[in-house]
């Protein structure tokens, strides 16, 4: 059964491309968000390693225990 025959044919809508400054801002925002997530993952991994060292009374990584 061909279901496409049940719906009326719609005209395709052609929209303008995104302006270049807006595209650059979107790329910068996306890269910044990805960078923040990566930084948080690295901090969590460092905190986990520091917790293991702290339990064994070993020196900690980084400047501050947080």
Tens digits of per-residue pLDDT, 31-51? 999 999 999 999 999 889 888
Q: Residue 18 falls within a domain, yes or no?
A: no
What is the total count of domains within the chain? 1
Q: Residue 27 falls within a domain, yes or no?
A: yes
> From residue 6, how far is each of 1, 54, 62 by CA, in Å?
10, 68, 64
Give start and end residues of each alpha helix (H) in the chain: 20-55
Question: Any residues with CB less than 8 A from the CB of 66 and at least 6 apart, and which?
Answer: 47
| Structural domain range at position 49 | 23-57
Provide the 3-class DSSP secondary structure of residue 4: helix
Q: Residue 6 falls within a domain, yes or no?
A: no
- Residue 1 banded pLDDT, cuts 50, 70, 90: low
Q: How far apart are CA 2 and CA 32, in angstroms?
A: 46
Q: Residue 50 falls within a domain, yes or no?
A: yes
Q: Residue 31 falls within a domain, yes or no?
A: yes
- Residue 64 banded pLDDT, cuts 50, 70, 90: low
Check residue 66 and report its DSSP letter. -
pTM of the model: 0.60
Instruction: Choose between 54 and 64: higher pLDDT.
Output: 54
Q: Residue 49 falls within a domain, yes or no?
A: yes
Q: Residue 66 falls within a domain, yes or no?
A: no
Q: Residue 38 falls within a domain, yes or no?
A: yes
């Amino acid at each position: 059964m061909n279901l496409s025959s049940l719906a009326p044919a719609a005209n395709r809508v052609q929209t303008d491309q995104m302006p270049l400054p807006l595209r650059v801002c979107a790329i910068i925002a996306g890269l910044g968000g990805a960078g923040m997530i990566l930084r948080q993952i690295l901090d969590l991994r460092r905190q986990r390693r520091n917790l293991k060292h702290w339990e064994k009374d070993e020196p900690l990584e980084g400047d501050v225990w947080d």
